[in-house]
């Protein structure tokens, strides 16, 4: 049997969290609806050779958020799903990682580090805008920006 790795757990946690939101917040279960904000990463949109399993989990989380963010779920349950997708955030963990990295040769000292305050502004923007299925990228250099599905993919029938 293959051991469960942390990337799989990173995918399983949000899946269970979204299902729990349906159970306790969903209108079909007597709830009043609400909003779920999943914590993804800018790495949910781009490849990164140093941490491919982590990147896969963040790509999966964006897919989960956008899929639960389709009109079917909102109409049935009254729950809005969104994802916050930041770059590295300037925290004590990141500061310690600069000198004690788990990935040999990875230097994040020159990365676009977000402040915790900018992250909080991103959360507030999601709460205020209430765009179902949205993915909000947060970077120091660009601020906050919604990233949608590529136009050429929107009309491909998948259901």
Could you write out the three-class secondary structure of 38-88?
EECCHHHCCCCCCCHHHHHHHHHHHHHHHHHCCHHHHHHHCEEEEEEEECC
Per the model's pLDDT, the better-predicted residue between 143 and 9 turns out to be 143
Per the model's pLDDT, the better-predicted residue between 151 and 45 turns out to be 45
88 a catalytic residue: no
Residue pair 93/43 in contact (Cβ under 8 Å)? The answer is no
Q: Is the pLDDT of residue 4 over 70?
A: no
Set 24, 54, 68, 146: catalytic member? 54
- Report the predicted TM-score, pTM, of the whole model to 2 decimal places: 0.84
Provide mean pLDDT across the span 24-35: 97
Q: What are phi and psi of 158, to 5 degrees?
A: -120, -15
C-alpha span between 51 and 48 (Å, rounded): 6
3-state secondary structure of 143: strand
């Amino acid at each position: 049997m293959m051991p469960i790795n942390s990337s799989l757990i990173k995918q399983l946690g949000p899946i269970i969290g979204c299902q729990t939101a349906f159970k306790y917040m969903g209108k079909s279960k007597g709830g009043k609806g609400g909003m779920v904000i999943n914590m993804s990463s800018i790495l949910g949109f781009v490849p990164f050779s140093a941490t491919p399993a982590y990147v896969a989990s963040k790509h999966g989380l964006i897919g989960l958020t956008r899929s639960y963010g389709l009109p079917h779920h909102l109409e049935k349950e009254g729950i809005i799903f969104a994802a916050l997708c930041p770059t590295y955030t300037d925290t004590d963990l990141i500061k310690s990682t600069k000198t004690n990295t788990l990935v040999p040769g990875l230097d994040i000292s020159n990365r676009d580090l977000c402040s915790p305050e900018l992250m909080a502004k991103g959360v507030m923007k999601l709460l205020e805008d209430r765009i179902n299925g949205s993915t909000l990228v947060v970077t120091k250099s660009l601020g906050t920006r919604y990233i949608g599905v590529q136009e050429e993919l929107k009309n491909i029938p998948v259901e």
